A and B are shown apart, each in its own frame.
Chain A
Amino acid sequence: MFELLGIPPQALFGQLLLGLINGAFYAMLSLGLAVIFGMLNVINFTHGAQYMMGAFAAWLLLGILDVPFWASLVLAPIIVGLFGIVLEKLLLKRIYHLDHLYGFLLTFGLALVIEGLFQWKWGSSGAPYPNPIPGGFNLGFMFLPTYRGFVVVAALVICLATWYGIERTKLGAYLRAATENPTLVRAFGINVPRLITLTYGLGVALAALAGVLAAPIQQVSALMGVNLVLVVFAVVVIGGMGSIMGSIVTGFGLGLVEGLTKVFYPPASNTVIFVVMALVLLIKPAGLFGQTK
């Protein structure tokens, strides 16, 4: 078979696939962050913890009630989304009138509480989740595990569905209108606070869905979202939170960049996204898809 710059194609495509999978998670998580920020003006630091809760919900559903993966894919996001709604109703809605900073700090505190409790109850070593679709295809130039391929496709579908829901449906139009001018939308008789609660629930459910998808690939552990959310923040800074499609493209793109770095210069693979962030700040401070202000 052919070789590229001395890199065997197996390694190259293997890392590209890994990058694509990471990118799928970046895209789903940054999408949720962007949707929540647009509506609530809060950067949801709890996002990583809610992603972890999604994975845990699936793992517990399987362990205790013997619920299969495919049912968890629906059930876990609903459970965690409801939890998000409770959080919003009890705590978040009290700080909307304050500076953005307080939402950041409040959700940071919540993340500490949630992750701390999970770590206390289940430790931090992590538990395996059985692969729901074992096996794979030999594509000639590489071996593709079926489940990993499924994750990429599923993430794409989820992202595009979210985009469609927000940009092309009536509810999405209300949502965008309420983001622009909540007072005016209220005057039309739309229950904006309920819309806000719903948005938060949906954003959280999206994070949990990503968590369920991640469960068979990664270990289910209390700290699985801690570092991820920090990388996703960088992704959000790079893409800018103004555009839904922007979040999706940036997420997948950065995953690929990370994968390529792993092939050509492995020591930098952890930091490459942050380097990209620094470059973007130099060249286009508002982010690739963001508008200034």
Chain B
Amino acid sequence: MNATRIGYALLIVLALVAPLFAYPVFLMKALCFALFACAFNLLLGYAGLMSFGHAMFFGMAGYFYGHVVKAWNLAPEAGLLAGVAGAALLGLVTGALAIRRQGIYFAMITLAFAQMVYFFCIQAPFTGGEDGLQGIPRTALLGGLIPIKDDKVLYYVVLAIFLFGYAAIYRTIHSPFGQVLKAIRDNEQRAKSLGYEADRYKLLAFVLSAALAGLAGATKAMVQQFATLTDVAASTSGEVVLMALVGGLGTIIGPVVGAFIIVTMQNYLAFTGEFVLVIQGAIFVVIVLAFRKGVVGELADWWKRRQAR
């Protein structure tokens, strides 16, 4: 356990000094996706529910944030709150319907709802259609105390938001609630026979995951000052699955690692255009066939084997 603590301490120090040698906007984008992937992993890795429509929470929260901050001229805090609350509400409605089916159907239903939200966003007046919401102002946080116009300042705000989200997920997983979730994931019938109302637990996990994905999406809109259709599209839902998968499903730090790998890759391969998709697809295939535990899972296994020797 001590090694884990030292590891976390090192990572936090690294995160604190990172803007000195990396571009803050890139780091913030990666942190947003990392939180998004963690939220997704809370659902798949710990509740065994595979949502293939998480972009709807991520993207819609961005729109909510943009609308509240730009059209209503409210503070960014209100925007973040609106993003989280909106995503949670959307999660409640879609989750309540989706958990009526199990397994692969669950994935297809969430995917279909996300597509419905996508079509809605193309047509709805407040999303700006194909153009999206642009030029969302970066007004200061805490009534003027924290000027987030400066990227370096905003970076620490985003880092704080990320750590808050990560801590919330960590607490959830290690709480009695998290234990019940794992029990349901491993054997739903048995959990039910022990008196746990599986559906209620699943729905709560779904709403929680949606709210955290919303937090990530709203934060991303705050950073990039725009909200677009890309963030609600099915491709984004696929990306977050890929991030969690690359990092390691069911490991708490895995999705963070996966998000950084994928965002970095997209950054460096952006010049190849459509080829990014081909490479992402190929990674999916390779991971599913050969490295189902992901980077963190495989490393942990290797470490365990080493210890055992």
Contact = CB atoms under 8 A, between A and B. Distances in A.
Given A230-B234, A237-B109, A271-B116, A105 B288 contact: yes
A274 interface: yes
A104 interface: yes
A209 B195 CA distance: 50
B120 interface: yes
B288 A95 contact: yes
Interface string B267-294: 0000001111110111111001100100
The SS class assigned to the B binding surface is helix
Contacts of A275: 116
B292 to A, nearest CB: 7
Contact of B289 (A91, A114, A277): A91
Contacts of B34: none
Interface residues of A, number: 43
Nearest to A102: B288
Given A120-B274, A271-B120, A109 B288 contact: yes
Contacts of A156: none
Given A120-B273, A237-B112, A277-B112, A112 B104 contact: no
B238 A108 contact: yes
B149 interface: no
Contacts of A285: 100-101
B104 A116 contact: no
Interface string A235-260: 01100000000000000000000000
Given A100-B104, A275-B116, A105 B273 contact: no
A142 interface: no
A230 B276 CA distance: 21
B123 to A, nearest CB: 6
Interface string B124-145: 0000000000000000000000
B108 A105 contact: no
Interface string B111-123: 1110110011011
Given A91-B285, A274-B116, A113 B278 contact: yes
Contacts of A109: 280-285, 288
A29 to B, nearest CB: 13
Interface string B43-73: 0000000101000000000000000000000
Interface in A209-244: 226-227, 230-231, 233-234, 236-237
Nearest to B290: A94
Contact of A106 (B50, B101, B105, B289): B289
A200 B122 CA distance: 35
Name, among B105, B238, B245, B280, the residue most crowded by chain A CB atoms within 10 Å (CB to CB): B105
Given A101-B104, A105-B245, A274-B116, A120 B238 contact: no
A285 B238 CA distance: 25
B115 A227 contact: yes
Interface string A262-275: 00000100110011
A92 to B, nearest CB: 10
Interface in B65-106: 97-98, 100-101, 103-105
B213 interface: no
A110 interface: yes
A114 B282 CA distance: 10
B243 interface: no
B191 interface: no
Nearest to B122: A270
B207 interface: no
Nearest to B288: A106
A280 B107 CA distance: 16
B227 interface: no
A237 B281 CA distance: 25
A101 B113 contact: no
Contact of A270 (B97, B107, B119, B285): B119
Contacts of B113: 274, 278
Interface string A86-107: 0000010011001011101110
Contacts of B281: 108-114, 116
A230 B116 CA distance: 10
B115 A231 contact: yes
A88 to B, nearest CB: 13
Contacts of A102: 288, 292
A281 interface: yes
B241 interface: yes
A119 interface: yes
A43 interface: yes
A106 B104 CA distance: 13
14 contacts: A100-B103, A105-B241, A105-B245, A106-B289, A108-B281, A109-B284, A113-B281, A120-B275, A120-B278, A233-B111, A274-B112, A277-B112, A281-B100, A282-B97
- Pairs A-B, 6 closest by C-beta atoms: A109-B284, A112-B281, A116-B278, A274-B116, A113-B281, A116-B277
